[in-house]
Amino acid sequence: MMDYPEFVLPSVSELPDAGMINCTSPSNIALVKYWGKRPVQLPENVSISFTLDTCKTTTSLSYKKKDKVSEDFDFELLFEGKPKLDFKPKIQNFFKRIEVYLPFLKQYSFSIETSNTFPHSSGIASSASGMSALAFCLMQLEKKINPTISEEEFLKKASFLARLGSGSACRSLEGPITVWGEHDGIKGSSDAFAVKFPNNIHKNFDRYQDTILLIDKGEKQVSSTVGHDLMHGHPFAARRFEQASENITKLKEILISGNLDAFIEVVESEALTLHAMMMTSLPYFILMKPNTLSVINKVWEYRKKTGSKLCFTLDAGANVHLLFPNSEKDQVLEFITNELVAYCQNGQYICDKIGLGAKLL
Ligand code: DP6
């Protein structure tokens, strides 16, 4: 039996001939981390993230109806204006996974042009923004075919499709905070797509800042797929998955109450737990660099000295995301330029903040 038949586009008679769809979709930073998945691209644990604003992918999808349905998917790929052959297998695989839900794919010839606002191979994962942008464009095409789809169904399916491209991508369609994975405390939550955090968020989190320190731009030591796989048979996996769920329960209360001390504790603990999982898998690996640790220690010192609510999180790499309230922006940026830039590769960092998700241009 097919999984999730509710996401299959009902049969249609008319398909639009040709056109172009432009959209942007941001990256996101997890507060409770997704680490561990089962086929096909379903999470072993629930995760929650801030949707970002500045770090995003812009995608143009040109489509042209063909006279004859082809055997295979017909698409060309341009990244920052140049053909990008090494992305093709990933998109080919993505199309294969989503074809059952978008049965018109082989009736078109596509040209996909993308660019990112963040520097290439900066260690910022472009899969979340890239896959959510492409899923969003494809849903805009579906909407031309099926115009009665509601806004809610549209976003749900866009997230569902994005997930099949890259797990964390499903959390980028909406903002400011989304949850992916079934959880009793989160209304409407599902393993198949992400939902917008359904409760009112305390004003302490308005325009929350994320400054990304680029510590090491080196090629990824482990692909995320390999990393997720290492949670199978991992000695701490079962407890870790439970803990993620408990942390979502805590964060839900925190996001409602605005308790920033409690926020710091959950977020930093999650970041270190993610890396602890990597350090205790077989094979084991360490993605933090000496400068990552120096920054963490500096953040802790700064907090102790000033009472600031600045905290850090990490994804699967050496870069550090610094999270802080908008009210502390000037002081924290001063601290970053005076004391942390020295730990960044070529002094590079990116100032971002909480954002609202994918947009049609
Ligand atoms: C550490 O979404 O990149 O950033 O599903 O294999 O594409 P795939 O993995 P991906 O994994 C992201 C892992 C993480 C944590 C997170 O974003 O929740």
15 Cβ neighbours under 8 A, 6+ residues apart: 65, 104, 107, 145
Which residues, in sequence order, are bridge partners of residue 112?
61, 77
Residue 197's pLDDT is what?
A: 98
Residue 120's pLDDT is what?
A: 73
Which of 168, 171, 267 has most ligand 1 atoms within 8 Å of CB, for mutation? 168
Mark the ranges of the chain whose per-residue pLDDT is less than 50. none
Ligand 1 centroid to 205 CA: how many Å? Answer: 23
> Distance between CA atoms of 196 and 48, rounded to whole angstroms?
10
Ligand 1 centroid to 5 CA: how many Å? Answer: 25
First-to-last CA distance in the chain?
38
Which of 180, 224, 225, 228 has most ligand 1 atoms within 8 Å of CB, for mutation? 224
Half-sphere exposure of 71 (CA within 13 A, CB side): 0
User: Are 33 and 274 within 8 A, CB to CB?
Assistant: yes
| Residue with CA closest to ligand 1 atom 6 | 225
User: Are 164 and 176 within 8 A, CB to CB?
Assistant: no
Residue count (the chain): 361
Cis peptide before 40 (omega within 30 of 0): yes
Ligand 1 centroid to 123 CA: how many Å? Answer: 13
User: Are 213 and 343 within 8 A, CB to CB?
Assistant: yes
Ligand 1 centroid to 128 CA: how many Å? Answer: 8
- Residue list, ligand 1 pocket, CB within 6 Å: 30, 33-35, 37, 41, 47, 125, 127, 166-168, 224-225, 228, 274, 315-316
Tokens representing 85?
């052959």
The answer, as to whether pTM is greater than 0.95, is yes
* DSSP-derived pairing of the beta strands 74-79 and 108-116: parallel
> Distance between CA atoms of 311 and 199, rounded to whole angstroms?
23
Ligand 1 centroid to 225 CA: how many Å? Answer: 8
Cis peptide before 83 (omega within 30 of 0): no
Tokens representing 193?
């797509």
Residue 68's pLDDT is what?
A: 87
Give the number of the atom of ligand 1 that is nearest the alpha carbon of residue 165: 7
Residue 280's pLDDT is what?
A: 98
Residue 278's pLDDT is what?
A: 96
Residue 121's pLDDT is what?
A: 66
Give the number of the atom of ligand 1 that is nearest the alpha carbon of residue 166: 7
Ligand 1 centroid to 323 CA: how many Å? Answer: 19
Residue 123's pLDDT is what?
A: 67
Residue 222's pLDDT is what?
A: 80
User: Are 136 and 25 within 8 A, CB to CB?
Assistant: yes
pLDDT tens digit string along 235-292? 999 999 999 999 999 999 999 999 999 999 999 999 999 999 999 999 999 999 999 9
Coil vs helix vs strand at 68: coil
Question: What separation in angstroms does the CA of 195 have from each of 110, 182, 188?
Answer: 29, 10, 7
Cis peptide before 235 (omega within 30 of 0): no
Which has the closest alpha carbon to 125: 167, 95, 65, 157? 167
